[in-house]
Amino acid sequence: MIYLSKGMVRKDSTEDRLNISRGGQSFLLTGTEAALWLNGRFVFSMTRSPAEERFLQHLIRMGLAEAEADEDNTAKYRILSRCVCCPARVKKMVLPLAGKEKEVWTWLEKAGLRLSTAELIYLMEHQIQPEERLLYEENRQALVETIYTQNTIADNILENQMETASCRDEVVQVLLQLLKKKRILVL
């Protein structure tokens, strides 16, 4: 089973006691649960035994992980489509981003709303650039109207359409790169 962890480590965590914050709640993880969560913090990870799968199911019930039985690129997309990717507060100097990383980061940071993975893929698929008229809170309605049309407004239709988009895997990879670089949080 492939999975990705959700939430962020709190400062009061230790090696033996991992405190995770998500959705205004704090969770204490120890032992196998803590190890599983850490393994899926910056990359997709896999369980290696039925016992680990049971611990992972508990993390999923707590809202601290998302998982899929399949291990292909579609499964990775489905996992990320159930997560919220948010810009992380960067406290130290970081290397600049280039290409698609910079474009996705700009959308995530300046869109004026939390964009889903499907919405990001839609923007990339249609080569919509992050320009002033679509960025920031005052332009969020223009952005929503750009993404949601008669063909995409129905429940889950955008997620289903973007599952087969040609740039789906590229955007998923870019999100993972931003996660590894600690530029985004997965919630």
Residue 91 pLDDT grade (very low, low, confident, very high; cuts 50, 70, 90): confident
Question: What is the predicted pLDDT for the residue at 31?
Answer: 96
Q: What average pLDDT does this structure show over 84-88?
A: 94
Nearest CA to 113 out of 82, 78, 91, 138 is that of 138
Question: What is the predicted pLDDT for the residue at 74?
Answer: 97
Nearest CA to 70 out of 138, 126, 142, 3 is that of 3
Q: Please name the residues in contact with 130: beta carbons below 8 A apart, sequence gap of 6 or more.
A: 103, 106, 107, 110, 111, 123
Kindly list the distances between the CA atom of residue 106 and the CA atoms of 67, 75, 96, 103, 120, in Å, as whole numbers in the listed order: 27, 25, 12, 5, 11
Q: Which tokens hold the place of 48? A: 């290696």
Question: What is the predicted pLDDT for the residue at 59?
Answer: 98
Q: Which tokens hold the place of 169? A: 């895997």
Residue 90 pLDDT grade (very low, low, confident, very high; cuts 50, 70, 90): confident
CA 84 – CA 69 distance, rounded (Å): 20
More confident residue, 16 or 23: 23
CA 107 – CA 123 distance, rounded (Å): 9
Condensed to tens digits (0 to 9), the pLDDT of residues 40-83 reads 999 999 999 999 999 999 999 999 999 999 999 999 999 999 99
Condensed to tens digits (0 to 9), the pLDDT of residues 104-154 reads 999 999 999 999 999 999 999 999 999 999 999 999 999 999 999 888 888
The pTM of the full predicted model, rounded to 2 decimals, is 0.93
Q: Above 90 in pLDDT, residue 2?
A: yes
Question: What is the predicted pLDDT for the residue at 36?
Answer: 97
Q: What average pLDDT does this structure show over 154-171?
A: 94
CA 185 – CA 94 distance, rounded (Å): 16
Question: What is the predicted pLDDT for the residue at 9?
Answer: 94
Taking each helix axis as running N to C, give the angle between helix 73-81 and helix 168-180, from 0 to 180 degrees, rounded to the nearest 10: 70
Q: Side by side, which strands form the sheet with 18-22?
A: 8-9, 18-22, 25-29
